[in-house]
């Protein structure tokens, strides 16, 4: 971290620690990939998309997808519902507080998550959010078996909220399955390889609200502290405020600028582990210096709780041992969540 004199003056009253300023590295770009040929094209067109996705996953682990098939109107509705919820008085939001949920669903307050507890020692991320998962009734076998992270959602009493979120949830789950098909082909395994572990996938829709950050900003508290994602695959819609930064191969922080209609796709730790490090789970962070509210909609796509996560057959060079011990998707996620949410201790 750097001293006060070198802080950069931003519009308004904001001063940014130079360590938080993204740079342009011409050799490092986050590619924009047109997904339509994968969904609807012929074999040659599909293979071309697979190559692009494979290259991005091996490089920074980040890419944009456009023409992904999720209607812009639906994404707009999710933003509208999320904004309505976040605008409620805290007491009303607290009616669905995540602390009340046995399965990590509901609202978490500003600072309730700390994605970089090493640098952010004074408080958590400058964001609030909602965790929405697969809405399982008490009678579902996985709930009856008391599987951690499985159970019902907590819904706010806002007309239309639940319907919009559930429609989006289904659409993004469909896209996640297609992306995993592309990943499998990019890894040289059968297209449907991962489908075996997608019976009751642990998918989470997590709308976020970042208030504007002003004053002197250091790595000690930003919108989302530097972190890697925990799971397999994240699909993010971000509004036009900007502020998402991705760590490139060179170690430089790159701005992941908003592209209307695109999702930012990234690999998480579980996929890095599953691929023995062939696919990269890279650090990213959010600094909202836009001077206004920022909203984003991450969707985390993870397989079944029981999915074995151990080195894929095509990811082990001859004569080498796997870099990671085998685990399961459920165990991997629980370890990560317990480390970053202040209230939680799932086991
Ligand atoms: C996350 C994340 C980025 C954003 O939730 O893991 O990195 O733009 N979000 O909100
Ligand atoms: Ni993230």
For the chain, the distance separating the N- and C-terminal CA atoms, rounded to the nearest angstrom, is: 36
DSSP assignment letter at 20: G
φ, ψ for residue 99, nearest 5 deg: -60, -25
Instruction: Indicate whether residue 46 lines ligand 1 (CB < 6 A).
Output: no
In the reported structure, the alpha carbon of residue 45 is separated from the centroid of ligand 2 by a whole-number distance in angstroms of: 30
Residue recorded with tokens 């319907």: 163
Q: Where are the domains of the chain?
A: 8-21+69-241+261-278+290-340
326 Cβ partners below 8 Å, 6+ apart?
308, 309, 310, 311
In the reported structure, the alpha carbon of residue 138 is separated from the centroid of ligand 2 by a whole-number distance in angstroms of: 30
- Considering only CA atoms, which of 108, 111, 96 is closest in space to residue 162? 96
Ligand 1 atom, smallest distance to 223 CA: 10
DSSP assignment letter at 42: -
Q: Which residue, judged by its Cα, is nearest atom 4 of ligand 1?
A: 296
Instruction: Indicate whether residue 150 lines ligand 1 (CB < 6 A).
Output: no
Ligand 1 pocket test, candidate residues 132, 224, 238, most atoms within 8 A of CB:
224
Instruction: Indicate whether residue 297 lines ligand 1 (CB < 6 A).
Output: no
The Cα 311–Cα 32 span in angstroms is 28
Q: Which residue, judged by its Cα, is nearest atom 9 of ligand 1?
A: 298
Q: What is the residue-level pLDDT of the chain in tens, covering all 347 positions?
A: 444 447 777 766 789 998 999 987 766 789 999 999 999 999 999 999 999 999 999 999 999 999 999 999 999 999 999 999 999 999 999 999 999 999 999 999 999 999 999 999 988 999 999 999 999 999 999 999 999 999 999 999 999 999 999 999 999 999 999 999 999 999 999 999 999 999 999 999 999 999 999 999 999 999 999 999 999 999 999 999 999 999 998 899 999 999 999 999 999 999 999 999 999 999 999 999 999 999 999 999 999 999 999 999 999 999 999 999 999 999 999 988 887 777 666 65
Instruction: Indicate whether residue 284 lines ligand 1 (CB < 6 A).
Output: yes
- Considering only CA atoms, which of 205, 211, 206, 208 is closest in space to residue 126? 211
In the CATH scheme, what architecture does the domain 8-21+69-241+261-278+290-340 have? Answer: Sandwich (2.60)
């Amino acid at each position: 971290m750097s001293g006060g004199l070198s802080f950069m003056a931003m519009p308004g009253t904001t001063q940014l620690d130079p360590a938080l300023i993204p740079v342009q590295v011409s050799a490092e770009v986050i590619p924009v990939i047109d997904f339509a040929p994968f969904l609807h094209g012929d074999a040659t067109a599909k293979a071309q998309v697979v190559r692009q996705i494979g290259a991005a996953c091996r490089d920074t682990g980040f890419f944009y997808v456009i023409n992904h098939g999720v209607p812009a109107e639906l994404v707009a509705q999710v933003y509208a519902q999320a904004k309505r919820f976040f605008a409620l008085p805290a007491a009303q939001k607290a009616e669905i507080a995540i602390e009340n949920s046995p399965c990590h669903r509901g609202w978490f307050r500003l600072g309730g998550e700390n994605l970089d507890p090493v640098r952010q020692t004074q408080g958590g991320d400058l964001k609030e959010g909602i965790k929405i998962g697969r809405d399982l009734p008490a009678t579902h076998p996985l709930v009856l078996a008391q599987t951690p992270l499985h159970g019902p959602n907590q819904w706010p009493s806002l007309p239309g909220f639940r319907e919009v979120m559930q429609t989006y949830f289904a659409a993004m789950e469909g896209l996640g399955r297609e992306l995993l098909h592309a990943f499998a082909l990019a890894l040289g395994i059968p297209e449907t390889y991962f489908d075996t572990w997608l019976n009751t996938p642990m998918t989470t829709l997590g709308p976020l609200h970042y208030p504007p950050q002003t004053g002197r900003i250091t790595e000690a508290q930003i919108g989302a502290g530097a972190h890697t994602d925990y799971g397999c695959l994240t699909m993010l819609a971000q509004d036009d405020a900007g502020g998402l930064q991705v760590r490139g191969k060179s170690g430089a922080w790159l701005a992941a600028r908003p592209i209307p209609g695109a999702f930012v796709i990234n690999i998480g730790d579980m996929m890095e582990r599953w691929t023995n490090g062939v696919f990269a789970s890279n650090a990213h962070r959010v600094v909202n210096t836009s001077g206004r509210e920022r909203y984003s909609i991450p969707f985390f796509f993870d397989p079944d709780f029981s999915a074995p996560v151990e080195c894929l057959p095509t990811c082990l060079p001859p004569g080498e041992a796997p870099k990671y011990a085998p685990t399961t998707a459920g165990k991997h996620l629980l370890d990560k969540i317990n480390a970053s949410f202040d209230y939680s201790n799932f086991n």
